[in-house]
Structure 1
Amino acid sequence: MKTRWFWGGFFILSAVILVTNALGIFEYRIGFFTLIMTIALVAALLGSLRELNMPGVVFSVAFMAIIYARPLHITALVPWTILGAAVLLSMGLGLLIHPRHRNWERRYRHHHFHEHWRGDGFEETNTATVDDANVNLDLSMANSIRYIHSNDLQTANIHVNMAGAKLYFDDVQLHNQQATFNIDVSLSGVELYVPKTWQLDCQLNNNLGHITETGHAESAGPAVTLIGSVSLGELTIIYI
């Protein structure tokens, strides 16, 4: 599914929900905040399904179950019961179904492709190379790949909104062996490829998002501090 079709369908669905709720077509009326949360959770659910991200799918459904417990007649299930079941279910499904980004990781280890591989073929992707000591990335409404090259990287400001992004920092030398990444991910999926020698200090705020790591860092190396937030999105850190 190409990004424009995904977000196009998402906005059309959001418009339908907004209008039908205002007309009172459904017996259960929802408030404005609940409506916004519903739209956001649907977006997270669709994005997680596209990437086969089982924790994202399960927790999106779990939060919607909490929000709509009364019309679903499941008020006997307290939120902690639903969230506890979601944790166990996501762990089980995560062991059985792997996210699609792992296919890319295996390919990347052998070839530095500029195409964006997905399970159903190649997808149109905005690809560029950035060479700067202070990197500023503002990506939205598209699939993007950025290859970062720097001999003296100091900071990276990464803002991704309603998009998918793959960011490669494998060809980077850090200023004084340290750097700060300011990351803002909203309704998006971001894959951050970093050298396995980097020691990441993750200080990100997780607002209904999902932060995971693939691979392991070595015991010593340059220090990188991650600050910012992940809101209703997914950040995957991949050591290469």
Structure 2
Amino acid sequence: MNKRNTFWGLILIFISLTIMAEITGLIESYSIVRLAWTIILVAYAISKIFTLSFIPASIAGAIALNINAEYLNIEASNSIFIASILLGIGLTLLTKNMKRNKRRNKTVIINGKDIKFTTDKSFNTTSENIEGEDVYFENNFGDNSRYIQSNNLKTARIENNLGHSRVYFDNVTFNPQRAIVNAECNLGKITLYFPSNINLQNNLKTTLGSIKGPASFHTDDRYPTVFLDGECNLGEIEIVIL
């Protein structure tokens, strides 16, 4: 089980038990347990801010506000979660724009090597091919299909915000030494289509989201190994083997 899912699952279960215990009078109106979980949530939020992961940080902050609403003289409601999610999305998009402006049309260093990305950005419903050894695709609010074409794919980065990205790797020859596919999904869905003649190392992480499809597998030593990295925040990443 994913460690982040375990962490958030324990938090949500414990908060629900705390609320039920308060209602039945089993614990005091403001307990040490609630204070402890508030500290954990705030610490978690701060740690995510340092890594520029604003969506999970804002959700943790919203949970902390809700469980302490009575003592902060605010009303516990879904509006707090909606506002926090919107704040997280806004901050994520702003920081991504700053990173993207630095990266676009420039060479970056990954694993000690200089890499120039072939970039593609979309806000609409489109379908097109992307060629190159190192590719980057971003989708905001759209529904898109991208067909990667490469004879030596080394790196692919997919970023999806509030949309659905379908990325096909079935016509790709992966670099035999090391190929990295990085997927970041925020409140949307990414569907990745891989050929069957690969070995997959699935390192995807999720925060209140879901990852569907096969986990890591090793089929044949002759096949290239694809390292699948990234994070899913309040969305879904699906892996399909063709």
TM-score, normalization by structure 2: 0.48
TM-score normalised to structure 1 length: 0.49
Larger CA Rg, structure 1 vs 2: 2
